[in-house]
Structure 1
Amino acid sequence: MNFSEVFKLSNQLCRFSPKGKYLASCVQYRLVIRDVGTLQILQLYTCLDQIQHVEWSSDSMFILCAMYKRGMVQVWSLEQPDWHCKIDEGSAGLVSSCWSPDGRHILNTTEFHLRITLWSLSAKSVSYIKFPKACQKGTAFTKDGRHMALAERRDCKDYISIFVCNDWRLLRYKVLLYSLDGRLLSSYSAYEWSLGIKSVVWSPSSQFLAVGSYDEKVRILNHVTWKPIKELSHSATISNPKTVVYQEVDKCQTAVPSQLTFPPHRGAPSSLFAVHSKYELAVLPVSLRTIKPDADRANPELGIGMLAFSPDNRYLATKNDNMPYCVWIWDIQKMRLSVVLEQTSAVRSFHWDPVQPRLAICTGNSRVYLWSPSGCVSVHVPVEGNFSVLSLSWHPLGEDSLLLLSKDHLCLCYLEAEEER
């Protein structure tokens, strides 16, 4: 495992291009475009103010930089460096900006969610969508990019409207969950409780819908009946011998024979895998660390806050906010708990390799953690100073590389092919 040099960064604004050829990073008001293979600077753009959001178009030909404080978006072209576009929302303000799937339309949401403005780069036209609901993620696109679902708030009621993306006409809107032709598929409630559902994710095959709830359970719904086929409970005590529990051990503790990791990589310093931290195979039963949620807080740390399916549809990774130090990995084929990883620090995020069932985890310290069906490993980021990994992402095409982001810096982690046992 190798690491690149460290580069300056602002607000963790760093993104791979969709095709994985470029890496965009922001430093205050500057946008830096690098070649992923060499990390050499290809383009350097200067924006009118500090960048607060950056996003690639789907074809990697354009990149937008949003400056919410100024209500402005600037768009840059990779093929024509001299071309640029400036969009100013004026007094309406700006709270979010994103590309449409075709990479030629920009959707800007104005302050107070008064409207969504649709800017066309190709037709140089503008149109509007009224009544967007003020929520964390109010829009979603189909995989083929033909339709957009929009959460709306009309007359004190919530609606889901379906738009056709080629001309942005309203196809149909209905309440609850509907198919694109307007048929009501189903309505589902995990249980009678006002807090309800906390997280939702589709499986890559679209056969399953995983629903995380505040009662610390995940319900797996199938796409035929839209009924739950399995409830996955997150118990504080693991005693099933079919479940493997790995516990992270810091460098002050002594290694034991039961330690299980990936096979060492050729040419990699052994200290990366042995000195800083390691995983030990726990002896069952195991009591996992839990926290008591503060019931007086508006949004208590309670329930299933993170869900992610592996690309082969085989595994589901979850995080129960009541047990912030643990990552749960479920075998979806067998519908049972397969592995629990217990960290020494609270888990901040995890992401699956887009090509193979390999999970990367970060906890806000100077390490990156990897799990695959063959085992798990903890790796220290060997850079000067303290590099706290706050978020991470895989190369869009896999290609054995990870982007690691700290508060003010970025670096790339290159993984070697796993050796045969």
Structure 2
Amino acid sequence: MDFTEIYKQTAGLVAFSPGTHFLLTAVQDRVVIRRSDSFQIQRTWQIGESFNAPVMQLGVSQAHTKAPTRAELASAWITHAGWSCDSEYILAACTKIGVVEVFKLRDETWNARIDCGAEGLARAEWAPDGRSILCFSDWGLRVTIWSLLTGTATHIQFPIHPDRGYAFSRNGKYFMLGERHKSKDTLGVYDTSQSYRLVRHFPLPSSSLASMSLSPAGNVLAVWEGPLEYKVYIVTIAGDLLGTFSPEPDRGLGVRSVAWHPSGTYLAVSGWYDKIYILENLTWGPVAVLELQARIPAGVNVWREPTNWIDATQGHGFILYERVRSPWSLTITRPELSKAYPKSGAVQLSFNVSGTLLLARFESAPHVAHIFAFPTPQDARAHDAARGTPKLRAVLIHTAPVQSAAWNPVKPGVLALCTGAESMYVWRDEFVVTDEEGNDELQEVAECVGVPAQSFNAKDIRWSPDGKGLVLLSKETFCCAFEAEEDAPADEA
């Protein structure tokens, strides 16, 4: 891996453009755009400069808008930032002063601003069309969709959550929003091509909606209850209830993680107990239960991070995990279930891009990442029932708790992790090995990669859209890592 220099960032707001040609970074009240090949700065903007310059005003009338004072602007750091789908526009929002500013990559002088006024701003993000911006107000009052093309706004009242409980269909045509009317959970379906015209509005079976997730096909929603009940409802976007899942006995604490299989055939559900239920899309009942176990059975690949390898390599280079013979015993922390939100359950469920592997991280075993081999729909329909059952394939054991893990968005068999140390970790099942007869075969391999920088603790990790690079984030800085064109020797980075 080749690493870049260390750069500053604020609130983890670092994102590659959809085409991976540019990199957006928010540094306090500034937006910095760099080229991803040379990391040279292409554009910079500052929040608040447009208050003294003519702009395209989208929000409250200028006559009713009070410009922030210098003291307010000095502490007004960017809280939300992102690219439009075509990389033409950049959004930067500050919830403290209730302002969203939009910049144009190809025209440094163009600027638009949304002033949210007295209703406040809790969240701002792009709609899939790249020309509309969603602004969630404080206190769940409403969500406003502002159009850059027409300068008009569409208001939708009483969203339940500003950070979850809504979804766009894959083609971006429909917007589904969990709403609360007359103390009841409802779902609104809106047509984005018709200025977010209401298409359907129907009650949900939930009593206190926690969140929802749209299937990859875009025709089915998984809706689940709050922390008092462990219930998942499967509803169509037409309002029909297809199924309800609640494990027996239902001991409360609710649902913690949900993940759709890329094909939409399966739904992985986990609560605050160390069990993962795999639901299938015919009866919406569990076809498999994956449970965290202290004893890893034979036949599972167990990889363990070498002790003090960072000091041995001085953070320059990479080293393979130690291969441990199974069966092997893990250390599992027993949670205090009498306390609110105990440290248990699956903190992350994530399928790879092909749906053949499932990553699970349990808070009861924070140092461990579990990788399950997941059957394809063809395997599930096969007569051999064993082929259609998810099985534990590999276990990665680290010296520190895993803080972030992400699948490569392009290559199905590549997983990157970080643990808050001066390193990153890569597991791959497509490592090419040539045998004595000259034949190439794919093998599984796990590597520890040192970050050649001092006092850089990687707490979050993100892939670029093309799967060729990574962003590693610490508390206030970040760096990028890219695949080397040629395999480096074992003592080089």
| TM-score between the two structures when normalised by the length of structure 1 | 0.90
Match of 2:16 in 1: 16
Q: SS of 2:139's equivalent?
A: helix
For 1:402, the aligned partner's letter is: L
**Is 1:415 aligned with 2:460?**
no
Q: Deviations over 1:175-209 (max 9, x none)?
A: 14322333332222234232232111112222221
**Is 1:303 aligned with 2:345?**
yes
Match of 2:254 in 1: 196
| TM-score between the two structures when normalised by the length of structure 2 | 0.77
Separation (CA, whole Å) in 2 of partners of 1:76 and 1:348: 33
For 2:422, the aligned partner's letter is: S
Consecutive unaligned residues in structure 1, runs of 5 or more? 256-267
For 1:76, the aligned partner's letter is: F
What is the number of residues matched between the two proteins? 401
Consecutive unaligned residues in structure 2, runs of 5 or more? 49-75, 206-233, 376-386, 430-443, 488-493
Q: SS of 2:318's equivalent?
A: helix
- How far is 1:280 from its partner? 1.2
Match of 1:406 in 2: 474
**Is 1:272 aligned with 2:272?**
no
**Is 1:372 aligned with 2:428?**
yes
**Is 1:64 aligned with 2:94?**
no
Separation (CA, whole Å) in 2 of partners of 1:343 and 1:161: 44
CA contact (8 A) 2:472 2:479 kept: yes
Match of 1:249 in 2: 306
Separation (CA, whole Å) in 1 of partners of 2:315 and 2:138: 53
Q: SS of 1:91's equivalent?
A: helix
For 1:364, the aligned partner's letter is: G
After the TM superposition, which residues 216-365 of structure 1 pair with which residues of structure 2 at under 5 Å, given as runs?
216-238=274-296, 240-251=297-308, 272-274=317-319, 278-333=320-375, 334=387, 335-356=390-411, 357-365=413-421
Greater helix content: 2
Larger radius of gyration: 2
Closer, same or farther: CA 254–38 of 1 in aligned 2, 3 Å = closer
Separation (CA, whole Å) in 2 of partners of 1:342 and 1:415: 24
Separation (CA, whole Å) in 2 of partners of 1:271 and 1:35: 25
- How far is 1:237 from its partner? 1.5
Q: Deviations over 1:340-398 (max 9, x none)?
A: 11111111110000111200001111110000112100111002x21100111111011
Percent identity over paired residues: 34
CA contact (8 A) 1:190 1:197 kept: no
Q: SS of 1:181's equivalent?
A: coil
The counterpart of 1:170, out of the listed 180, 187, 198, is 198
Q: Deviations over 1:89-129 (max 9, x none)?
A: 11111111111111111111111111111111111101211
Closer, same or farther: CA 389–270 of 1 in aligned 2, 3 Å = closer
Separation (CA, whole Å) in 2 of partners of 1:3 and 1:254: 19
For 2:83, the aligned partner's letter is: W
Separation (CA, whole Å) in 2 of partners of 1:58 and 1:209: 28
Q: SS of 2:96's equivalent?
A: helix
**Is 1:386 aligned with 2:455?**
yes
Q: SS of 1:187's equivalent?
A: strand
Match of 1:261 in 2: none
- How far is 1:403 from its partner? 0.9
Closer, same or farther: CA 124–254 of 1 in aligned 2, 3 Å = closer
For 2:447, the aligned partner's letter is: V
The counterpart of 2:244, out of the listed 187, 192, 217, is 187
Q: Deviations over 1:32-82 (max 9, x none)?
A: 001111111111111123111111111111111110111111111112221
Q: SS of 1:360's equivalent?
A: strand
For 2:318, the aligned partner's letter is: F
